A and B are shown apart, each in its own frame.
Chain A
């Protein structure tokens, strides 16, 4: 039997994972995209060390070999804290809910930012005087050249010297990063000045921590920040999410007068107004009207030029987490709230990053928001989505309130002018009455002449306004029926191609004789359709329609329906009419009425298309128009059996640019509302009327 050889078992050797010195470069430099970002991390360390002040000084940085000196009056570090905290990369001993000795929520990173900053120069000297060991200081030096020569990080020894602190020095830390390998440009310094200034909200008072840069650029910028043109703003939004996730909002004027107030249900636009699942926060925004006219019209202490320059530096909405800024939110070109996109849809009623300034402040003691490893923004999360939902909805709310206010102002102005005119006429009549009979006749004739000249002028202006409404209506109609009007042209081209194929081969022509005569017949039909569609636009634009006159309501409805018959027939839609008795007359330009009805009918036809796409088949397409008389007014109701108004609040349908259909311009209903208000009427909408689809009721004064 063979003998099994005895195995010699040796005790296992103890090994450790070691890191190449190259890892320092990877971690320190690649995770810190810019030098200012690294310096910010050092300042945040000072904040976490309960410093009240932190100063950054640049010495000779405009040439190669310069240095950066950072000094703070924080609690400093003991040798234990240097060894187990400052020198450990990737673990800053800070848990997300931990606080500093004075109770500050910690904001520093995992030590990677510090590493990036320290590697900005070839050498680093750190001197720290711990508050817990009065009269003592610790000093250490890092020479990065030593790491370049070593294979692994652990090979390089770093000596920490304990010595007596110079007389009269208080606790705190000083870091000198020297022998910078590349010079800094003026632009680099300006950028650093900006990020340091904005690290804490420069406009908030009594913050207990001040970071500054000893440089001319910083002083200038700080001065500009302190000028603070907040008093010149037109709207100051203050939106808050409370502990229970519910929101409250208010908008104040520059003088602090409360203009609008909103409750949670006014702001949270989603169905059932869900609460915001995000820690309590405040969103503040100051919006300015940057036009020379706006500044000239009010008692402003400054000029539009100054405010514009100020906003160029400080515009945008920054985010402050635990009191310290999180980049890149609100940086120049970082429109994280999509304010500019929204403003492009509603020019006057929306702030943009160019005409406003703001901040979001979140304390977040539980550490719900986590910053990304590269310190540029938060990690995407539900809380971040909720924060964006809140800011979006708060801005939407402000826009809605401003629109309401504008409309009220407009109505009041019309009413005021009307009364003033009546009053002036009465006064004039009284004055004429007092004149001697010979002069009375002469003056009355002159006044009458002046009045008729004035009326002619007003009529001309009305006609011009009417032209814009008509052109707008032509535009909405063209957009809605673009496919319809192009279709017959395409049909003719396709048939011409078919005929070419048949004619190209005598055998095929014989074979497809019936097909070719069908093609010719189709061409005739399509040509007729083109004629009908093109006549709609021309008829809308007829000049004499823009003059005001006394018109029969029913006749106007019939004419508009007839005008749109080619489209109604092409879309297999029936219009049912149910009129009140009598000849109802209103005073308006024919074009105004056409603008209202063309837009409403177009709206219904588009809704039918959407109805089919939603999968609703509710029988033949039907539009119903009813008229009723009540108290000197005529109410005209137009409703359809489309899908109704979905995915948009009723008050929003009138906003320019708001639409629920893919092809809608969002201008049709805005025109309808404007025209009706011009005619001193009103319009109301219901999402689902008697027929199931949208229902619009227009009320206009009757002209007897």
Chain B
């Protein structure tokens, strides 16, 4: 039962639209939690820890775009969830999921976003509750779900596309899906390796390849493959 599972936990709601804050509060109540909607202006990123402690916050729900309406918060919701992760508080991100967000502002912080709720598709009691509990397990009990466990993965760079002032690297990972390209911002790759990121080159990174949706993938710990790894990869690709 909802009310029992979330057991009146205090859940902070970071959302720039007052209407959406009210909407999310309603859903949190329905899930059995105690909503703590944060009015404008939200605390600075560096002040979140102290704020959460003062409000006895146990979980966090963040909208991704926090500065569409006004100067609610000078950061993305994804950054706030990642920050609360580092402070030991589980959080989920609510987003309308735009493809460009997935490959840029979401991907940058996806490693530390335990769960993502698509709005309005996933906006129901069951999904919200499951996401909050999963976030709590990953952050407090260090027990991530199978889809969130990273594996060392080799990938081939297909293209590097300019996007606004950023660059998106499109890669193929046969260990994840042989048909789908996945993108991430070039600045996720350490500076000293960026010159080697060109169409046709190969990279290794830690990726949660059990994730079903591409917006759930994260990339971490990039490295360039050595000759042995390249040989191995080539033999894999060359296999009929």
| A interface residues with partner B (beta carbon < 8 Å) | 336, 341, 345, 380, 384-385, 388, 482-484, 486-487, 490-491, 493-495, 497-498, 501-502, 508, 512, 515, 518-519, 522, 525-526, 570-572, 608-609, 611-617, 620-621, 647-648, 659-664
B100 partner residues in chain A, CB cutoff 8 A: 662-663
Specify the main secondary structure of chain A where it touches its partner.
helix
- Give chain A nearest CB distance to B32 CB in angstroms: 12
Stretch in B61-69, B130-138, B207-215 with 4+ CB within 8 Å of A? B61-69
- Give chain B nearest CB distance to A504 CB in angstroms: 10
Count of chain A to chain B residue pairs whose CB atoms are closer than 8 Å in the complex: 116
B: number of interface residues (CB 8 Å): 43
B27 partner residues in chain A, CB cutoff 8 A: 498
Supplied contacts A486-B96, A611-B67, A612-B75, 13 more A-B pairs, CB within 8 Å: A490-B96, A490-B120, A491-B20, A493-B123, A498-B27, A501-B30, A501-B125, A608-B67, A613-B74, A648-B165, A661-B164, A662-B104, A662-B164
A350 to B74, CA, bound (A): 38
Q: Nearest residue in A to B94 (C-beta to C-beta)?
A: A494
B26 partner residues in chain A, CB cutoff 8 A: 498, 512, 515, 518-519
The contact of B29 among A487, A512, A612, A614, by CB within 8 Å, is: A512
Q: Nearest residue in A to B126 (C-beta to C-beta)?
A: A501
A663 partner residues in chain B, CB cutoff 8 A: 100, 164
- The verdict on A518 contacting B22 (CB below 8 Å), with A615-B75, A662-B105, A663-B164 known, is yes
A614 to B67, CA, bound (A): 11
A617 partner residues in chain B, CB cutoff 8 A: 41, 71, 74
B123 partner residues in chain A, CB cutoff 8 A: 493-494, 497
A522 to B75, CA, bound (A): 26
B76 touches A571 (CB 8 A): no
A522 touches B19 (CB 8 A): yes
- Name the interface residues of B118-176: CB closer than 8 Å to any CB of A: 119-120, 123-125, 159-166
Closest CB pairs A-B (n = 7): A612-B67, A572-B70, A493-B120, A662-B164, A494-B120, A615-B74, A494-B123
Q: Nearest residue in A to B201 (C-beta to C-beta)?
A: A380
Q: Does B228 contact A (CB under 8 A)?
A: no
B164 touches A660 (CB 8 A): yes
A270 to B68, CA, bound (A): 31
Q: Does B53 contact A (CB under 8 A)?
A: no
- Give chain A nearest CB distance to B24 CB in angstroms: 9
A63 to B75, CA, bound (A): 68
Q: Does B195 contact A (CB under 8 A)?
A: yes
- Name the interface residues of B50-87: CB closer than 8 Å to any CB of A: 65-76
Q: Does B196 contact A (CB under 8 A)?
A: yes
Specify the main secondary structure of chain B where it touches its partner.
loop
A555 to B162, CA, bound (A): 40
- Give chain B nearest CB distance to A634 CB in angstroms: 32
B98 touches A519 (CB 8 A): no
A660 to B166, CA, bound (A): 9
- Give chain B nearest CB distance to A386 CB in angstroms: 10
B22 partner residues in chain A, CB cutoff 8 A: 518, 522
A498 touches B70 (CB 8 A): no
- Give chain B nearest CB distance to A645 CB in angstroms: 11
Q: Does B8 contact A (CB under 8 A)?
A: no
B119 partner residues in chain A, CB cutoff 8 A: 490, 494
Q: Does B23 contact A (CB under 8 A)?
A: yes
A662 touches B124 (CB 8 A): no
A502 to B66, CA, bound (A): 28
- Give chain A nearest CB distance to B34 CB in angstroms: 14
B74 touches A498 (CB 8 A): no
B70 partner residues in chain A, CB cutoff 8 A: 571-572, 620-621
A664 to B165, CA, bound (A): 9
B74 partner residues in chain A, CB cutoff 8 A: 612-617
Most chain B CB atoms below 10 A, which of A336, A508, A615: A615
Q: Nearest residue in A to B17 (C-beta to C-beta)?
A: A487
B73 touches A497 (CB 8 A): no
- Give chain B nearest CB distance to A80 CB in angstroms: 35
Most chain B CB atoms below 10 A, which of A341, A482, A662: A662
A491 partner residues in chain B, CB cutoff 8 A: 19-20, 23, 120
- How does the 8 Å CB contact mask read for B1-42 relative to A, with 1 for contact and 0 for none? 000000000000000010110110011011000000000010
A490 to B117, CA, bound (A): 13
A647 partner residues in chain B, CB cutoff 8 A: 165
A659 partner residues in chain B, CB cutoff 8 A: 164-165
